[in-house]
Amino acid sequence: MAESDKVFSGSIPKFYDTLMVPLIFDAYATDMAQLVAVSSPGAVLETAAGSGVVTRALAPQLGADARYVVTDLNQPMLDYAAARQGADNRIEWQQADALALPFDDGSFDVVCCQFGAMFFPNRVTGYAEARRMLKPGGRFVFSVWDRIEENAFADEVTNAVALVFPHDPPRFLARTPHGYHDVALIREDLRRAGFTDIKIDTREKLSRAPSARDVATAYCQGTPLRNEIEARDAGLLQLATDRATQAIASRCGQGPVAGKIQAHVIVAAG
């Protein structure tokens, strides 16, 4: 993983929250909130919370006395999440690296993490850290994207942007968000971290947007793909976005667009 892959700052939080979240994260956040809330947990830790899509879905389902600690590596994402959430005295916002969590052992009933594990430089360390946080009988609920070929827009954007930089194609989307999809490896990493009860459910959904341009802008300007494009030539960000728009429009047309998305949803315990 390149260093810039985990940098969500500058213009990224706003584009991420307004364009990426409705496109591909909202639907899975609804599922994750249900999976967490089903056991009526008294204390929940969320890692890699980003701009707060899971927090917004889960907070209304937790009890009045619940403790909900919401963390992310990048303070600008957390600031965005906290501003959207509004006052809620059950929620504690704290910047934290999921690989070095600043909380006592056995503090939480559930640790949840939506689409964050792909960014962990060492998954076994990140999973062991989640397990350390859990009370006996606690659960670690998390999700990762399936391979890029199962996620239509990410694949189309990656291929279109590659044509703008043929000698050094930006591969962020394939390398990181879609680079950790092997369920055998995920199981093995969880076992090495100490989990014994592991369930993995592969879920397909349909991603929709008002236009191809919304999708292209979301991926090219609302994710660290932007960092990769700007590192090559900041003046080509708009051209890259235009080429991605054309690629999606050539399949979906000029109006509303839709594409398959697919992810693995994992519950680990023991």
Ligand X SMILES: C[S@@+](CC[C@H](N)C(=O)[O-])C[C@H]1O[C@@H](n2cnc3c(N)ncnc32)[C@H](O)[C@@H]1O
Shortest Å, Cβ 262 to ligand X: 15
Query: Which SS3 state, helix, strand or coil, does residue 181 take?
Result: coil
Which long-range contacts (C-beta less than 8 Å, at least 24 apart) are formed by 122-128? 123/180, 123/186, 123/189, 123/193, 124/189, 124/192, 124/193, 125/99, 125/193, 126/98, 126/99, 127/189, 127/190, 127/192, 127/193, 127/194, 127/195, 127/268, 128/193, 128/194
The binder of ligand X chosen from 6, 123, 226, 243 (CB under 6 A): 6
Closer CB to ligand X, 88 or 97, in the complex: 97
Do 74 and 97 contact (CB within 8 A), yes or no? no
Q: Which of 15, 25, 68, 93 binds ligand X (CB under 6 A)?
A: 25
Q: Which stretch binds ligand X (CB under 6 A): 34-42, 70-78, 205-213, 238-246?
A: 70-78
Among 23, 36, 62, 74, binds ligand X (CB under 6 A): 74
Question: Which range, of 57-65, 68-76, 83-91, 186-194, touches ligand X by CB under 6 A?
Answer: 68-76
Instruction: Decide if residue 120 touches ligand X (CB under 6 A).
Output: yes
Binding string, 29-48, against ligand X, x = CB under 6 A? ------------------xx
Q: Which residues, including other chains, have CB under 8 Å from residue 15's CB and lie 6 or more apart?
A: 217, 218, 221, 222, 226
115 binds ligand X (CB under 6 A): yes
**226 is a site residue for ligand X (CB under 6 A):** no
Q: Contacts with ligand X: how many residues (CB under 6 A)? A: 22
Residue closer to ligand X by CB (options 48, 91) is: 48
Give 66 or 77: the residue with its C-beta nearer to ligand X. 77
With CB atoms as reference, the residue minimizing the distance to ligand X is 50
Whether 125 contacts 99, CB under 8 Å: yes
Q: Which pair of tokens denotes residue 177?
A: 């968000």
Select 48 or 267, whichever has its Cβ closest to ligand X: 48
The b/e string for 166-205 (b: 16+ C-beta within 10 A; e otherwise) is eeeebbbbbbbbbbbbeeeebeebbeebebeebebeeeee
Compute the distance between CA of residue 15 and CA of residue 105 in angstroms, rounded to an integer. 36
For ligand X, the binding residue among 99, 148, 193, 240 (CB under 6 A) is 99
Asked if 98 is part of the footprint of ligand X (rule: CB under 6 A), the reply reads yes
- Nearest distance, CB of residue 14 and ligand X, angstroms: 13
List the one residue from 58, 62, 66, 73 that touches ligand X (CB under 6 A).
73
- The rounded distance, in Å, linking the Cα atoms of 115 and 107 is 22
- Residues forming the site for ligand X (CB under 6 A): 6, 8, 21, 25, 47-50, 53-54, 72-74, 77, 97-99, 114-116, 119-120
